[in-house]
Amino acid sequence: MQRKYIFITGGVVSSLGKGLTLASIAMLLEKKGFSIAMLKLDPYLNVDPGTMNPFEHGEVYVTDDGVETDLDLGHYYRYTTSPLSRASTATSGQIYDTVIKRERRGDYLGKTVQVIPHITDEIKNRIVHCGDVGVAEIVLVEIGGTIGDIESLPFLEAIRQFRYERPQDCLNIHMTYVPYLKAAGEVKTKPTQHSVQTLRSIGILPDLILCRSEVNLSSEIKEKISLFCNVPRESVFDEVDVNTSIYEVPLMLRKQGVDDAICKRLSLPTHPVDLSVWEDLLDKILHPKGTITVGIVGKYLDHKDAYKSVFEALHHGAIAAGYKLQIRAIESDKIPSQDELAGCDGYLVPGGFGERGWEGKLEAAHYCREKKIPYFGICLGMQVMVVEFARNVLGLPSANSTEMELATRDPIISLLNEQEEIEEKGGTMRLGAYPCLLREGSRAHAAYGTKSISERHRHRYEFNNKYKALAEEKGLLLSGIYEEGNLCEIAEVKDHPWMVGVQFHPEFKSRPTDPHPLFREFVQAMVEKKHG
């Protein structure tokens, strides 16, 4: 079969949910039996989002091969089985960097290097390469940003050329916002018309239009959009705000026949789709046994996407347990009192960098350890748990991480080159997948059901093995080890119902239909705590 390409663009406003929508479409195509690959093209000049402020950009998602990417790749992972790697993402910064390096080497043989054809050719190469790496029958490409943004123009020109070169193998989806004006009591199509006009002015004609709206669009409204946007009426779909869960989106699109319309346009066979697993998932969400509350102790909680994968993984665990999850945000900037912390069935301290909010997180770990309340520490949250244990159980009141206090007398968390018995020179970030061996009889081993695992990392500081013997003697079990570097990956407090910290990011490998083992067990511990 000739490989097919699907491009999705967005218009009117940002944050329409292109990534989630494309992931839902990809899932439907997988259910039809097609192999797929997914690519996010981001127009910003940063090489990757790794140095971006979470308040501005949301979380940084990490792939197995150690690439820091946009959070939309998290949607791709949760909805599909698409292989994700450095071939699944490209930014303007990466594209320009590649072209400029080639120019410096003389690869262009003295030619004038320009946006067209050199930048656009590199973008097209990335699109083809993504499909080659994933050995995909269909490649789905999301163009970041909004139509009209000047920084998106090279990407749009590239997909225009791509469609021109492969007219029978490409499909363009344009996602717009159709606002509902309460004062007028009607929806307005003019923003969509202008957005499509802008798209057409640069040579891209949409095949399908997906309309985000607060209300269902009438047949008359869809006919109007069809007429003014020059798209067949049967290719105009609405994507209404979901009632309960983002996991309703694939079912919504399937009900309208979006996947069949795509297959028809690309001359693909329209195999039946079995969504029974997804329907069972929605049934559990809509009919919970009860409610549990988790406290998230962090410093980026004002931005709902800063901990996107953590929130989703917690919901996955709750769905598996049959419960509705309420998330309570606890800002760690202000050291919370025990009264302010009280009232949750469990607490999670997610990853992060820097000393702001550090002492507040330590207070949360101290509260959970003393009150025997389930605690889950991820990355920095594990280091929080270890430092609190060192201060209050090991009798090391000055224990700290050298990230927070470089001259601390007891650096129980530090860079590798600060740990004398380890020769490896540190300071660089551990990124991507690393193997880990689990200690039999530990909570981690019971959760995973296997002795050897692989998880994704994004951190610099490590547990200091100089304190290993003392820590284990006093009841801190180092239950997961990366053998090659003799590094602690998982720590557990022995005499506690469920107090576990992990150096990696398990949230990146959780799916709604397959919750991550540690999130599943953490939620189960909360349920047991709630019901005594």
Residues annotated as catalytic are 379, 505, 507
The sign of the dihedral angle between the CA atoms of 274, 280, 285, 286 is positive
CA angle (28, 519, 454) in 5-degree steps: 80
Which segments of 246-357 does DSSP mark as H helices, in order? 249-256, 258-265, 276-286, 308-321, 338-341
**Residue type at 484 in one-letter notation:** E
Structure tokens at 307: 């901990």
Cβ atoms of residues 451 and 485 within 8 Å: no
What is the Cα–Cα distance from 284 to 513, expressed in whole angstroms?
A: 11
Cβ atoms of residues 336 and 400 within 8 Å: no
Structure tokens at 490: 């998982």
For residue 484, the 8-state DSSP code is G
Element (H, E) at 453: strand 452-459
Instruction: Give which of 176, 273, 154, 284 is closest to 222, Cα–Cα.
Output: 176
> What phi and psi, each to the nearest 5 degrees, are found at residue 163?
-65, -40
Rg of the chain over all Cα atoms, to the nearest angstrom: 25
Structure tokens at 199: 């798209």
Backbone angle region of 423, left / alpha / beta, with phi > 0 → left and psi within -120 to 50 → alpha: alpha
| Residue found by looking up tokens 């039999």 in the block | 440
Provide the 10 A C-beta neighbour count for residue 382.
26
Which segments of 88-186 does DSSP mark as H helices, in order? 92-105, 120-134, 153-165
Which residues face 238 on adjacent strands?
Answer: 211
Cβ atoms of residues 237 and 210 within 8 Å: yes
Cβ atoms of residues 44 and 92 within 8 Å: yes
What is the Cα–Cα distance from 62 to 286, expressed in whole angstroms?
A: 31
HSE-up of residue 282 (Cα within 13 Å, Cβ side): 16
What is the Cα–Cα distance from 413 to 387, expressed in whole angstroms?
A: 8
| Residue found by looking up tokens 């163009």 in the block | 143
Cβ atoms of residues 309 and 75 within 8 Å: no
Helices 18-31 and 72-79: crossing angle in degrees, nearest 10, is: 20
Q: Is 272 helix (H, G, I), strand (E, B) or coil?
A: coil
Which residues face 125 on adjacent strands?
Answer: none
